[in-house]
Structure 1
Amino acid sequence: TSTILADADRLVSRFRFGSYMDGLNSLMEESSPAIVTCLGKLLMGQLLSSKEGVQALGAWPKKEQRLPEKLPKTPYTTKALKLRELLVNLAWLQFVLDNAPPPPTSLLDLVNTYHSSNLHLLEITIAQIHDLLRLLKDDEINNVVKPFIESIQHKADSIISEYDKNLGKCIANDWANYTHFPRLNTQILRDLIQAGSPRKERVWIVVLDGLRLDSWDRFVWPELRESFEVEGEVQLYLATLPTVTDISRVAFFAGKLPAYWRDYSNHYTTDHNVLLSRHLGLGKKESKDKLKILGRVEEKTEQTELDFDPAQYRVMIFNLSDEWIHHEQGSLVRVNDIIREKFEKIVFPELLYRVQPDDILVLTSDHGFIELRKEFMHKVEGIPDENVSYRYVKDFPFERGVRVSYDDKKQWAVAVGNEWFQRQKKKGKPARYTHGGISIAEMVIPAVRLRKRTKKEVALVLMIEDIPECTPGDPVTVSIQLRNDGTVTTYVSLTCRLAGRLIGEEELVLPGGTSHQWSVSITADPKATQVMVSAKYTIPGKKSKTEKRQAVIPVKETGAKIEIDTSALDDFEDM
């Protein structure tokens, strides 16, 4: 075994690439696990030890959709695949950080930019890199990657902190704007089912307690959209402060901020059954038949059959992370693994079983969470411990954080960003994860209206955009549009040929309802104008199918340059 690796190492040391890109692409295309292992280590050292290498890593195209080739099973396969995954994650991370925009000053732009720029995935990606290093157990790789990832961590922390600070400023400087923000979670049911207006359909309202935006994007939404069709689009909302269940979730059900929570007798209440009933426009007696709310559904499914009949409005609350996470000391990777398992084994099967094609499904979260890091701890002095939580101080004057109050009877000083509060009398080990404060990780939540799909299919649309007229030698970009109008994920192999010669290829994962643009650069040549693009893709129940498109590059003939010798005319000058 050591001989094979030594031979592969000697072979790889003789490799010469025209560019860092060539080396990275070769790593993904190589089929020998031993070569991948040695080449991966070589590239890692070269890329991360120079400014040019890091720039090339960040510019490695399509890294977020790159589909690693399968490798034959050998003693090196596991390590080879982990090395590939490590490089893909490092490339994605560098790309996102290189292109991170400054935080906007408006609430809506701040939330949307944070998500569209993939900044919400920075923490989980860094955690995955640390996890890969732990599993690789390779000192040589650790010595190269760890200093790099430490500098990356600092940059990521700085970017996230700036967004969190801007979020805190928006709320502190214009409290009325926050409480009337059209994307506050009190508006979700009005936006998605026009709460308060009569309707005939059966409605399922599902709350995934403690679900963060990174978990939503990584595995919840990709699995949901294969079986459910979105009506409209996924929207992002802000949780009600402080971001704890008893405030934010109840505000969602009530459709109102805490100061306006009233029962049928106009008395203050925190009863989510009464508040949701009123929000839906149901009478007091009517709600007993038309509304059914079940909490801790993950426990009840194991103990007894759920009974929702004859309710029209059926609410299921799944505790994905909120309770156990306060005692969890594992990494963010472990946290996400637990959440994924709960969603795939408990939540998703219940949705598939209970929701029918004619039903409406509204799915959302009530808040996210953050990781408490020692360097951001602030010890609170002179305030009773019962008034101090990790992310806020309640009903006691405090100089830090943002003041939050809805009626001047209750108030909170809410921590912003990574800052957290330590009580005077420390008892036991602090929690690693919590929620309640002002940060995008805690406050930004998804909400979507869905219907169950009646069939699963892949509908691939392949198009070549019109190519403008050019002259020989001009640079030409062939733009290819790929769209999956179907309902399930497909694996696509793209090839582009010019006059029969292969000039580009790419592999990607294309989920249902998503699109992808691929660009191939060539030089105009009047002798090679025929472009052929082929997309081979997987479909349910069969092995594969292929779509092909052709285009002609309009190369304008300029003609040959003719030179005329006029020297013979000189003899006439003296005549």
Structure 2
Amino acid sequence: MNEIKILWVDDEIDLLKPHILFLEKKNYKVDTCQSGVDAVEKVKSEFYDIVFLDENMPGISGLETLSEIKALRPSVPVVMITKSEEEYIMEEAIGSKIADYLIKPVNPNQILLSLKKTLEHSRLVSEKTTSSYQQEFRKIAMDLVMTNSYEEWIELYKKLLYWEMELENIEDAGMIEILESQKVEANSMFGKFVEKNYRKWFDNEDHPVMSHTLFKELVVPELSEDTPTLLVVIDNLRYDQWKSIEGVINTHFKKTREQAYFSILPTATQYARNAIFSGLMPSEMERLYPKLWKNDTDEGGKNLYEKEFLEAQIRRMGLNITWDYHKISSLRSGKQLAQNFSSQKNNDLTVLVYNFVDMLSHSKTEMEVVKELASNDKAYRSLTQSWFKNSPLLDIIQQAQRLGFKLIITTDHGTINAKNPSKVIGDRETSLNLRYKTGRSLTYEEKDVFAIKDPKSVFLPAINMSSSFIFAKGDLFFAYPNNYNHYVSYYKNTYQHGGISLEEMIIPFAVLKAR
């Protein structure tokens, strides 16, 4: 351990000699002084790792000294020591961002604990996290082999995400690399699981909540005549991104329920989100509402009629509710809704589709600066959190809390960082998505895909008699042989959706009540 320099400020410093000797035996270097004025002068001329500061001293008070020290050295941790247990002193000290607060008389071990907690917190947490993950690694490896139900896959994915977010804070490259390899293996096994079971989910009762059953099974039971409900569908929100913004929301809302549900295939907006609002699978939408449904090869926007689909579903279910629908695709439209949100308080249900995260993933593909800002999953989470903290959506959520809304947050599908190309050949009518293809005469690497040659069997539309669907597994993306190298370098390490991965298919649904 490098020598740690402590400044201890107390007008009765001579009485603390045993404490100082104890620390010096532990290889800490301790400077002392007896007034706030002297402390400020010492901090001006010396660099200290930590300051122990008595609150009650003659001359300038401990709180005044704290303020001056923080002005000089904002990053130096200060531990306040006081005889007083008055609440206002604690609040003042905490408001001034002290590192710790101790009540006299203090014993040497209290001081040592405060030092370790303040200065060695990162190292101790890192060592403990690494040790815990090493113990968990073998259990996860065994679970990967044994996992054989959608419930078990949800739990395993949540466990992987927990460790990913724990490890990202300790900067242990070796541990992070091991976890990444476990995620790759998990996605490989998950792809096989989906290929084996996806068709069965439409034939029997043992199936997860999916896009087309989400509204009926999870949203409608939460609606109440007494409490207005705000349903927010954040496009493209992965489970880890939900976890990155959850803490911000918890300031205003308390979570009462959280569960994962499964996006349908393709895990793409025009399929999954239309399924949420219609309560139907794509082939059913095509059959029942041909004027509202558009296939991949049709011209124009594919999600233009979500409100109409939702209206039809509400009518079909016989729900007697007042409701409204809003889609936000720009900062301007977000601000406009925030300014007028109070007008929604008399609705039983207000539905808000927010498109920012989808725009972020597309921008990463097209803009070098976003590629730099979201170079990996950790950065992608951080960028999502930063956006959310400064977005009109947070303003809307804050207003919803003040107006007593129940809040439901969910998404239509996730995304995966597409890292490896898989060659595919199709005709001019083949769809353009990088994680799934639909069309005639598709040629592909069989091991890389889940192929569905009869789309109607999983309620997908067939553009023509010989159409099929293929879905990329893991972190693959489809690339055409023509101009292959340019295509691969352009799309490698971009966030894509449409295929089969834990990140795309297992997605969050959370219910929260206003604090």
Q: Could you state the TM-score of these two structures normalised by the residue count of structure 2?
A: 0.61
Relative to 1, partners in 2 of residues 1:186 and 1:264: Cα closer, same or farther, differing over 3 Å? Answer: closer
- Cα contact 1:192–1:362 (8 A) shared by 2: no
Aligned runs of 1:41-440 on 2, under 5 Å? 83-100=123-140, 101-102=143-144, 103-115=146-158, 118-124=159-165, 132=171, 146=174, 150-151=177-178, 153-171=180-198, 174=200, 176-177=202-203, 181-194=207-220, 199=225, 201-217=227-243, 219-231=244-256, 233-261=257-285, 267-269=291-293, 271-281=305-315, 290-296=323-329, 298-302=331-335, 305-307=338-340, 309=343, 312=347, 313-326=349-362, 327=364, 328-329=370-371, 330-346=375-391, 347-356=393-402, 358-373=404-419, 376-381=420-425, 383-384=427-428, 387-396=431-440, 397-399=442-444, 400=446, 401-404=449-452, 405=455, 406-410=459-463, 411-424=468-481, 425=483, 426-427=486-487, 429-432=490-493, 433-440=495-502
- Could you say if the C-alpha distance between residues 2 and 84 of structure 1 is closer, same or farther in structure 2, counting changes exceeding 3 Å? closer
Q: 2: CA distance between counterparts of 1:265 and 1:408?
A: 13
The 2-side partners of 1:353 and 1:178 are apart by: 42
Structure 2: how far apart are the matches of 1:264 and 1:168? 28
Shift of 1:82: 5.0
CA distances 1:107-135 after superposition (whole Å, capped 9, x unpaired):
233223432xx123455556555xx36xx
Label 1:178 to 1:339 Cα distance change in 2 as closer, same or farther (>3 A): farther
Q: Deviations over 1:233-260 (max 9, x none)?
A: 2121001211111211121111211122
Tell me the CA shift for residue 184 of structure 1.
0.7
CA displacement at 1:395 relative to structure 2: 1.7
Structure 1 residue identity aligned to 2:477: W
Percent of paired sites with the same residue: 19
- CA change 1:177–1:345 in 2 (3 A) is farther
3-state secondary structure, aligned to 2:491: coil
* Aligned AA (1:166): F
**Which amino acid is the alignment partner of residue 254 of structure 2?**
E
Query: Tell me, what secondary structure is at the counterpart of 1:436?
Result: coil
- Residues 283 and 461 in structure 2, CA contact (< 8 A), matched pair in contact too: no
Counterparts of 1:541-552 in structure 2 under 5 Å? none
**How far 1:291 moved relative to its partner?**
1.8
**CA 1:267–1:318: 2 relative to 1, 3 Å:** closer
Structure 1 residues 334 and 167, CA gap change in structure 2 (3 angstroms): same
Deviation at 1:274, TM superposition (A): 0.2
Corresponding residue for 1:36?
none
Cα distance 1:377–1:187, how it changes in 2: closer, same or farther (>3 A)?
same
Relative to structure 1, the CA distance from residue 296 to residue 266 in structure 2 (aligned partners, 3 Å threshold; closer, same or farther) is closer
> What runs of 5+ residues in structure 1 fail to find an aligned partner?
13-30, 34-68, 134-144, 454-575
Report how far residue 364 of structure 1 moved: 0.5
Q: Residues 264 and 171 (structure 1 numbering): CA distance in 2 closer, same or farther, change over 3 Å?
A: closer
Go from structure 1 to structure 2 and tell me whether the alpha carbon gap of 1:125 and 1:431 turns closer, same or farther (over 3 Å shift): farther
CA distance 1:128–1:167, change in 2 (3 Å): farther
How many equivalent pairs are there? 370
Deviations 1:362-393 (A, max 9, x none): 211111111122xx321224555963432112
Contact 2:435 2:497 in 1 (8 A): yes
Q: Which amino acid aligns with 2:137?
A: L
- C-alpha deviation, 1:150, in angstroms: 4.3
The structure in which a higher percent of residues are helix is 2
1:554 maps to none
Q: 1:414 to 1:200 in 2, by over 3 A?
A: same
Shift of 1:183: 0.8
The alpha-carbon distance between structure 1 residues 434 and 93, as it changes in their structure 2 partners (threshold 3 A), is farther
Alignment-mate amino acid for residue 364 of structure 1: T
Structure with the greater relative contact order (CA < 8 A, sep ≥ 6): 1 or 2?
2
The residue that corresponds to 1:504 in the other structure is none
SS of structure 1 residue aligned to 2:254: strand
| RMSD (Å), alpha carbons | 4.1
Q: Check conservation: 2:264, 2:272, Cα contact below 8 A.
A: yes
Aligned to 2:234, what secondary structure does the other structure show? Answer: strand
